[in-house]
Structure 1
């Protein structure tokens, strides 16, 4: 007859006082000790430190809140005892780490959220390899998973999340972690939370998560001042003489973007098949944008045609331009902005060309709906940002000349 090894274990609840929340409450932690070895994890409960009984690891008082919290703590203790008994019976031995992982649903054979996320990234990698998705997006997902892992360790003392852990409170706490602990900007947090939402939606559709953990979370992108070039500044770039052919090519690609509205990745993937002759007799670029897969239809103006003719036949892989990496292009544009005086105060990047296209052609009278189609925007609200930019510029221009009418204002007051 087999005998099981004796195992001593106890459960202790304590406060994580070095991680208070904004509302003044403190997280309750659970420490398991098995044969003298300890493992800890978050009980996912919070309490005011003044209401905590350190001696007994309980919430003080008989209020409804205290009774509810103590009932939750009792359930955790009972579940741990049952897990301990089951492990001891089935395996004959148990340690604190094994007990903790079993209780949290993180046993080796069980699918966890981070395992699910790892598989998502592996599948995304295949799409990148086949050219369907962008490496930059893959890199953001990898960074997001890294932030989630460090969040799990520092906030909850665990190495993974079960799907049941994904609650509205956890989502909000992750936002606070990115904002307060990592010091990320609002729009960076917005991008990461979109990625987090995407993975959770997939988990919901596959029945791993029963309740949407983002149902109470709200966050919107903050509109930042989108830089753009004035017509005179664009003319300065066009007329600038580069000493190296490589620099001239990158300058021409920037100008090509200014006259087509295509992004760096769209120009890099541009092929002869994207050039089409329409019934109106004009040549057009018909392409699905790499970022959004939305159709972008742009009639080729003479400037864009001249650039196409200048570099015709330079590549042999079907693509129109031998584009260097985006970093190389932006490094050149940084040098260029330092050499052209009127650009010294501007942050010139390749994406600035796309913004320039939007504001330039809107100011020349191109209707918002047509511009939205050309730029391949999914929503016309995105295009309206350029109209807002122009309105703000008009306001600033009016403020600059307002002082010139001071004399007339004085004359009007005197005549009253």
Structure 2
């Protein structure tokens, strides 16, 4: 009679001392060993290393905290042992990975957060291919998934994450991971967390996630100095003669953006069908922004109309302009700006044109609401950033001339 060899099975708790938290505590890990093969995961319990009994893998003492932690460890051990017996009975063989996944609820075929995320990326790619969303946003979502996978592996030893793993603590620890381990800047972290929030909201709306893991998380985008061209700087660029045709094309495209507020991606996708005669008898650009899918309607002034006519018939597929790559545009703009005295100290990129449009027309009296509509902003708060920039510039300009009144100040006499 043939006998089956019983597998060796062991559960060990240990401390992850190489990754202490900010409060000095360390995470208790659980290692499952079956036939010499190991799989580990985080118990999500944190203690001070001085309270750990290395020999027995327990919390030292009989305090209330010790009893609570040891009770939870006993429950984990018992759960793993039950899963082991169940798998062995039903399948006749056990391995450490299968045992860990079964205990954590990540059995084959069950929808996990990362599987949900992968499906989201696949659906998003279809939208990119159909022109509804942009490739850059798709890349950011893929990078965010990579960071989440690495974080889960480093922090919890998880290769996948269940929806109930998404807790406020998980969110905050991921923020610390991006900030401390990857040393990303504040606004980059803010951007990733916006994407993470989007995924969680979608999971909640589809009833996969029972609560909002971002309920305790607060993070505000820091305003940064948005460059733009002053009116006299734009005038010098307009009158500058480029020696090369490619430079002249890039310069004209940049100027067109300065007078319409269109971003690079919107310029590249601009079609002749988007140029329409409106009810007022004027020619307008009627488009939906590629980035946000919001409408952006801009009346064409004489300069952008002249640029359209200059390049009429030079593009294929009904496009208005033969737009080079974004890299080429930014490289040529850098070269052009170095030839204009007032622009040598400025970092001129294509996106600077959009900021120039906003600040230029706001300073000329265009209402904030109208500007927001033309820029295709979803929220007027985004447009208000430009108003803040102008107010800051007014203050700086006043400071520059304040010394001219020093002599008057010295002769001023206060009369009571």
User: TM class, shorter-chain normalised?
Assistant: over 0.9
Q: 1:202 to 1:50 in 2, by over 3 A?
A: same
Is contact 2:256-2:303 (8 Å) kept? yes
Distance (Å, rounded) in 1 between the aligned partners of 2:346 and 2:28:
50
- State the match for 2:364 in structure 1: 364
2:198 and 2:290 map into 1 onto residues whose CA distance is 19
Tell me which moved more, 52-61 or 354-363.
52-61
Cα deviation code 1:165-186 (max 9, x no counterpart): 1111111111111111111111
C-alpha distance after superposition, 1:199-232 (max 9, x if no partner): 2222222222222211211212111111100011
Secondary structure of the corresponding residue to residue 184 of structure 2: coil
2:21 match: 21
For residues 397-408 of structure 1, the aligned pairs below 5 Å read 397-408=397-408
**Residue 46 of structure 2: aligned partner:** 46
Q: Distance in 1 between matches of 2:406 and 2:69?
A: 68
In the alignment, the residues of structure 2 paired with residue 344 and residue 86 of structure 1 have an alpha-carbon distance, to the nearest angstrom, of: 73
1:247 aligns with 2:253: no
Which residue number corresponds to residue 295 of structure 2?
295
2 CA distance for matches of 1:24 and 1:197? Answer: 28
Alpha-carbon contact 2:230-2:356 (below 8 Å) kept: yes
Q: Which moved more, 1:378-387 or 1:61-70?
A: 61-70
Per-residue deviation at 1:329?
0.9
Q: CA deviation at 1:308?
A: 0.6
Equivalent residue number for residue 353 of structure 1: 353
Post-superposition offset of 1:189: 0.8
Q: Secondary structure at the match of 1:50?
A: helix
Aligned residues of 2:247 and 2:336 also touching (Cα < 8 A): no
Contact 1:4 1:93 in 2 (8 A): no
Tell me what 2:266 maps to: 266
Distance 1:242 1:19 in 2: 57
Question: Unpaired segments of 5 or more residues in structure 2?
Answer: none
Question: Paired residue for 1:337?
Answer: 337
Aligned twin of 1:141 = 141
Counterpart position of 1:389? 389
Are the aligned partners of 1:41 and 1:158 in contact in 2 as well (CA < 8 Å)?
yes
Secondary structure at the residue paired with 1:250?
helix
The answer for the alignment partner of 2:113 in structure 1 is 113
Structure 1, gaps ≥5 residues long: none
d(CA) in 2 for partners of 1:70, 1:122: 43
Q: How far apart, CA to CA, are the structure 2 residues paired with 1:63 and 1:272?
A: 76
Deviation (angstroms), 1:4 = 5.0
1:177 aligned to 2:177?
A: yes
Judged with a 3 Å threshold, the aligned counterparts in structure 2 of structure 1 residues 65 and 413 are, in CA distance, closer, same or farther, namely: farther
Q: Is 2:26–2:49's contact at 8 Å kept on the other side of the alignment?
A: yes
Asked if 2 retains the 8 angstrom alpha-carbon contact of 1:257 and 1:263, the reply is: yes
- In structure 2, what is the Cα distance between the partners aligned to 1:220 and 1:387? 19
State the Cα distance separating 1:278 from its structure 2 match: 2.0
User: Is 47-56 or 291-300 further displaced after alignment?
Assistant: 47-56
d(CA) in 2 for partners of 1:53, 1:413: 79
Alpha-carbon distance, 1:68 to partner: 2.4
Give the structure-2-normalised TM-score.
Answer: 0.96
Deviation by residue 1:72-107 (Cα, 9 ceiling, x = unmatched): 212211111111111111121212222122222233
Task: Give the alignment's Cα RMSD to 1 decimal.
Answer: 1.8
Alpha-carbon distance between aligned partners in 1 of 2:4 and 2:331, rounded to the nearest angstrom: 67
Tell me the matched-pair count. 416
Q: Which position in structure 2 is the counterpart of 1:375?
A: 375
Aligned counterparts, 1:166-315, within 5 A: 166-315=166-315
Change in Cα spacing, 1:27 to 1:413, as seen in structure 2 (3 Å) is: farther
- Tell me by how many angstroms 1:415 deviates: 8.6
Distance in 2 (alpha carbons) for counterparts of 1:397 and 1:4? 87
